[in-house]
Amino acid sequence: MDLTLSPQYIKGVGPARASMLSKLGIETIEDLLFFIPRDYLDLSPLNFKQASEDKKGAFPCIVTGAIEGRKAKSGIWITKIPITDGQNNGYAVFFNQPYLARIFHKDDRLLLIGKMNKKFGAFEITNPEWIKFDKNTIYDFERICPIYPLTKGLSQKIMRNIVRQTLQYTYKVEETLPKQILKDYDLMPIQDAIKNVHFPKSFERLKQARKRIAFEELLLFQLAMLTTKRYFFNEKRINLYKNLVLKPFLSGIPFSLTDGQLKVICQIKRDLSSKHNMNRLVQGDVGSGKTVVACAALYLAVINGLQGAMMAPTEILADQHYETITSYLKPHSIKVDILKGSTSEKERQRIFKDLKEGKTQILVGTHAIIQENVEFHKLGMVITDEQHRFGVKQREKLVKKGQYPDTLVMSATPIPRTIALVLYSDLDISTIDTMPKGRQKVQTYVVDKAMRRRIYNFMAEEVKKGHLVYVVCPCVEENELNMVNVQDHTKMLKKSYPEIKIEALHGKMKAEEKDKKISDFISKKVQVLVTTTVIEVGVDVPEATLIIVENAERFGLAQLHQLRGRVGRSNIRSYCILISDSKDKNARSRLTYLMKCHNGFEIAQKDLEIRGPGEFLGVKQHGFFGFKMAELTRDTKWLEITRNISKEIIERGCLDKPEFGNLKKKLYRKYDLPDC
């Protein structure tokens, strides 16, 4: 079967389920093969006493008596099944599944998968997954069970069956890596890796499969970085800067720059006076003042007769940058325009004309500024904000609108320097390492769910003061791990606090809908935003004073710090409350560390140390680089190795050799690279 076909042709899928899979980004059979589990369950058989209260397990047991069924006062139908593991007695309890009374009988042999708790002296497991065994067979099941991301209408059992059916076509997947690389780095063939990442026979095989897929992802990423270098870097300067005096600009802004901002501006001025084009990454902690540094670079471009462009990933961010840049540059009679998807046709045509004639000196916008009919008179400075949100092709299109313009990349994502040097080795790296004076630290607290009512009452008090609140959940909808989800939590809060304007926001919404929700929040039409991590980067809402993070243990430290940065963006006292009931000591120590530390780069380094290499079970935090398996905080060793391999491949022109043909094909397809 052709791997580019729709998954509807897989047994057990069909058009309806194919539509559900599409919501998970699965459009082809190949997508299904590379749909990586987000977690794994160790299903080594346990007796009831070996159960861990906070962890799922697998419990072989026997039904000991008649199945009980009754309707509770709430209207829920409860099915209660008496069970034993041979030594201890208990119950399996199911909600709203009355048909199970016809399926289970006394002396049936079962495997129950779930959390076993002790209630009123008896063991009880609620809504477990189950496998029923024939009386004459031994327990036979996967000891390492994959857990997949889901959407409404798909259960883990259905998803596993679909993947099992799909694995028969693994032989159609072509090997990407040359034999010599597989041998030198002891890597599994790709077909074996796919099978073992879904249904591994051992944790060692899972580790090897994960290593193989992560290695390829990192190698492709490094090759993409080096390939695009031909387009962006090391060009001889053709835009000459004769005037690098910033005194008029600095005297016109209503505050003094920090030492960190001044240091980075000096580095930019040094770049602009060199023989080669500037290609610099400016990373700074949340609220460190990167925009004014970018504005200084744009000012220098304009006073030297050049135009500047600044591209942001969302309309909300573009609006905020436009307002800030306009306010800083207005005293110098510099004309700034903004171009977005929602810009009217009349205004769009006016901008096109002014830009081409050089009347518009700086253009701020979303990816709308890379459309073909946007022509600059003399583009000399290109700035991208949160550049990981843009594809290689998009950045290339913007750069090619000028003649080798200087480029500045801004990022508020804290990355440990060891990783940044590998990821951005083709860029000079600047770090704004000081914060503006008077900026308050966000007071951070870690609490368990017993405090939840008090926390949300505090939320209501903040809203009464005219302040705004974020509530962050790890999931969009109901999930088998019982994590707090946006949909149900929004309903609960609306019911509990009807006087407050509460809305939901998550990544499955269309871009226009997301922008509308954020705009309503900024304008206070919405007072509490219940959201996923889509708000972690960039949005500046000074009136937001409280952020509550549910199931905080499910997030990485650096990610929690990014979320915390959404509040405390004014002189109003602000709070970050992390709610977690995790009994895991490692998780608690991570959260406690966040209470004490407010430096994003120290936090990112601590995240790297705590999570460490080899920790590959649990919800994955892949960062912003689109990896399905690789993790920057864990795979530093493979980052270095793949970096060196990719350099050798490019320098020796290996991509044009037959044994590298599949690698080149996948590289150009995945990263939409231009032909060399």
Listed range (48-62, 87-101, 203-217, 218-232) with the worst mean pLDDT:
218-232
Q: How many domains does the chain have?
A: 4
Same domain, 262 and 351: yes
pLDDT digits (tens, 9 = 90+) for 457-481: 999 999 999 999 999 999 888 766 6
Q: Tell me what pLDDT residue 419 has.
A: 66
Q: Tell me what pLDDT residue 468 has.
A: 96
Distance CA 246, CA 259 (A): 15
Residue 541 near residue 521, CB atoms below 8 Å: yes
Token couple for 29: 């059979």
Residue 388 has pLDDT above 70, yes or no: no
Average pLDDT, stretch 520-541? Answer: 85
Residue 232 pLDDT grade (very low, low, confident, very high; cuts 50, 70, 90):
low
Average pLDDT, stretch 51-73? Answer: 88
Residue 114 has pLDDT above 70, yes or no: yes
pTM of the shown model:
0.62
Same domain, 330 and 469: no
Terminus-to-terminus CA distance in the chain, angstroms?
33
Q: Tell me what pLDDT residue 411 has.
A: 80
Listed range (167-171, 385-389, 496-500, 670-674) with the worst mean pLDDT:
385-389
Give the residue from 42, 27, 92 showing the smallest Cα distance to 65: 92
**Within-domain flag for 119:** yes
Same domain, 254 and 111: no
Average pLDDT, stretch 398-405? Answer: 82
**Within-domain flag for 283:** no
Average pLDDT, stretch 387-399? Answer: 64
Average pLDDT, stretch 405-411? Answer: 88
Distance CA 470, CA 530 (A): 6
Same domain, 545 and 478: yes
117 lies in which domain range?
44-141
Q: Tell me what pLDDT residue 609 has.
A: 66
Placement of tokens 């001889």 in the chain: 236
* Average pLDDT in the chain: 87
Same domain, 573 and 530: yes
pLDDT digits (tens, 9 = 90+) for 327-350: 999 899 999 999 998 899 999 999
Q: Which residues contact 485 (CB under 8 A, 6 or more apart)?
A: 473, 474, 475, 476, 477, 478, 479
Residue 105 pLDDT grade (very low, low, confident, very high; cuts 50, 70, 90):
very high
Residue 616 pLDDT grade (very low, low, confident, very high; cuts 50, 70, 90):
very low
Give the residue from 473, 579, 588, 447 showing the smallest Cα distance to 528: 473
Same domain, 472 and 539: yes
Residue 115 near residue 55, CB atoms below 8 Å: yes
Strand partners, 353: none
CATH number where 120 lies: 2.40.50.140
Same domain, 113 and 162: no
Distance CA 273, CA 541 (A): 37
Average pLDDT, stretch 606-631? Answer: 52
Residue 622 pLDDT grade (very low, low, confident, very high; cuts 50, 70, 90):
very low
Of residues 544 and 55, more confidence is placed in: 544
Q: Tell me what pLDDT residue 361 has.
A: 97
Q: What is the DSSP string of 465-484?
A: TT-EEEEE-SBSS--TT---
CA distances from 97 to 108, 124, 478, 666, 667 (A): 18, 17, 17, 46, 48
Q: Tell me what pLDDT residue 200 has.
A: 93
- Compute the residue count for the chain: 676
Listed range (117-131, 164-178, 492-506, 650-664) with the worst mean pLDDT:
117-131
Residue 540 near residue 518, CB atoms below 8 Å: no
Residue 521 pLDDT grade (very low, low, confident, very high; cuts 50, 70, 90):
very high
pLDDT digits (tens, 9 = 90+) for 556-615: 887 898 899 889 888 889 999 999 988 887 788 889 999 988 888 788 777 766 654 323
pLDDT digits (tens, 9 = 90+) for 656-672: 999 999 999 999 888 77
Domain boundary at 580, 597, 614, which? 597
CA distances from 68 to 44, 80, 118, 122 (A): 29, 5, 19, 16
Q: What is the DSSP string of 491-544?
A: HHHHHH-TTS-EEEE-TTS-HHHHHHHHHHHHTTS-SEEEE-GGGSSS---TTE
Average pLDDT, stretch 398-420? Answer: 78
Residue 137 pLDDT grade (very low, low, confident, very high; cuts 50, 70, 90):
low
pLDDT digits (tens, 9 = 90+) for 234-263: 556 777 899 999 999 999 898 889 999 999
Same domain, 464 and 333: no
Q: Tell me what pLDDT residue 395 has.
A: 66
Q: Tell me what pLDDT residue 472 has.
A: 95
Same domain, 355 and 454: no
- For the four alpha carbons of 625, 626, 632 and 633, in that order, the dihedral sign comes to positive
Give the residue from 141, 118, 243, 135 showing the smallest Cα distance to 199: 141
Residue 289 has pLDDT above 70, yes or no: yes
Distance CA 434, CA 263 (A): 10
Same domain, 100 and 244: no
Give the residue from 209, 222, 224, 201 showing the smallest Cα distance to 629: 209
Residue 618 pLDDT grade (very low, low, confident, very high; cuts 50, 70, 90):
very low
CATH number where 254 lies: 3.40.50.300
Same domain, 60 and 124: yes
Of residues 548 and 624, more confidence is placed in: 548
Distance CA 163, CA 158 (A): 9
Distance CA 363, CA 340 (A): 10
Q: Is 573 left (phi over 0), alpha (psi -120 to 50) or beta?
A: beta
Domain boundary at 597, 626, 660, which? 597
Average pLDDT, stretch 98-105? Answer: 92
Q: Tell me what pLDDT residue 508 has.
A: 80
Residue 619 has pLDDT above 60, yes or no: no
Give the residue from 350, 385, 405 showing the smallest Cα distance to 338: 350
Strand partners, 111: 60, 131
**Within-domain flag for 201:** no
Distance CA 580, CA 445 (A): 11
Q: Alpha helix locations (H) across 391-464?
A: 392-399, 417-423, 452-464
**Within-domain flag for 227:** no
Residue 41 pLDDT grade (very low, low, confident, very high; cuts 50, 70, 90):
confident
